[in-house]
Amino acid sequence: MMAARSTKGAAPPGVALFLGGMAMLAALAFPAVALAQAPDLERAKKIVGGNCFLCHGADGESSSEVFPKLGAQNADYLAKQLANFKSGARKSTAMSGMVRDLSDQDFASLGAYFAAKPPTTHEVKDWDLSGVGRYVYLQGNRWSGVAACQSCHGASGHGTATLPRLAGQNAIYLETQIKQFNARERTNDNEVMHVIASKMSELEIKAVSEYLSGQP
C-alpha cells in the first residue's frame, strides 16, 4: 500500500491556482519591472561630457543660476523631465534638441548619474528674505491660501522619487519655474502647482526661492 502524501502546510488546489494566476497577471501588468536595465553610468558620463556639462556642469553643479542644478536630483524625477522634453510635454527648444536622439534608458542612466553626485548649496544673500521664505515653505500662508511647500516636498526640501529636490537649487531658476506654473507655461507636472503658484505673491516667490537655495 502506498503511503499517503502529506499535505500539511500546502495550499488548497483552488488557492494555489488563484495565486499562480495573480502572479501571472502581475508579470503582465508590470513588464517594465522585469525588463528594466541597470543604469549605464559610463554611457551617462559620455552624454554629460558631450551635451550637458556646458550648462549644467559635469557634476550637475550648473554654470549659471538660470540653469537648474542636477547634482543630487532625484533620479526618477529627472528621467521623467528628460522624457517630457523629448515628447514635448515640457517645452524647451534648447532641451528638446539635446534629448532628441536619447532613449528612455539614457534618461534613466542620466537620472542615476546625477542623483549620485553630491548636493551643493548657495550662501544666503538676504537673511530677512530667507526667513520669510522659511515660514511660507514650512507653514504656508493661511491668509491667502498658499499651502505649505513641505507638505509635498518634505521639510528638508529633498522631495521624493516623483517630486524634485528643491534644497540647494538656484534661486533664479526656482523663481522662474514657479512663475511658469502660475502662467501655465509649464504643465507637465502636478496640477496642484498651478493652484499654489497662482496664490503666491511676488515677495513669497522670491522669499521661498531664496530660502531653498541655501538649504543642504
Q: Which of these, 80, 62, 82, lies nearest to 72 by C-alpha position?
A: 62
115, 138, 172: which is the final residue of a domain? 115
Question: How far is the C-alpha of 49 from the C-alpha of 203, rounded, in Å?
Answer: 38
What's the pTM value of the predicted model, to 2 decimals? 0.82
Check which CATH number belongs to the domain holding 197 and give it.
1.10.760.10
Question: How far is the C-alpha of 174 from the C-alpha of 191, rounded, in Å?
Answer: 17
- Grid cell digits, residue 61: 553643479
Q: What is the pLDDT of residues 33-90, one digit of tens each?
A: 334 689 999 999 999 999 999 999 999 999 999 999 999 999 999 999 999 999 999 9
Asked if residue 170 and residue 133 are part of one domain, the reply reads yes
Name beta bridge partners: 141: 146
Asked if residue 206 and residue 131 are part of one domain, the reply reads yes
Q: What is the pLDDT of residues 127-185, one digit of tens each?
A: 999 999 999 999 999 999 999 999 999 999 999 999 999 999 999 999 999 999 999 99
Asked if residue 94 and residue 65 are part of one domain, the reply reads yes
Asked if residue 142 and residue 111 are part of one domain, the reply reads no
The residue segments making up the domain with residue 165 are 127-213
For residue 11, being part of any structural domain is answered with: no
Asked if residue 163 and residue 138 are part of one domain, the reply reads yes
- Grid cell digits, residue 30: 508590470
The pLDDT, as a whole number, for residue 37 is: 86
Asked if residue 99 and residue 144 are part of one domain, the reply reads no
Asked if residue 131 and residue 105 are part of one domain, the reply reads no
Asked if residue 51 and residue 97 are part of one domain, the reply reads yes
Query: Residue 147 in contact with residue 41, Cβ under 8 Å?
Result: no
Question: How far is the C-alpha of 35 from the C-alpha of 29, rounded, in Å?
Answer: 12
Q: Which of these, 130, 104, 144, lies nearest to 210 by C-alpha position?
A: 130
Asked if residue 143 and residue 67 are part of one domain, the reply reads no
Asked if residue 59 and residue 88 are part of one domain, the reply reads yes
Number of domains making up the chain: 2
71, 93, 115: which is the final residue of a domain? 115
The pLDDT, as a whole number, for residue 13 is: 55
Q: Is 146 helix (H, G, I), strand (E, B) or coil?
A: strand
Asked if residue 140 and residue 208 are part of one domain, the reply reads yes
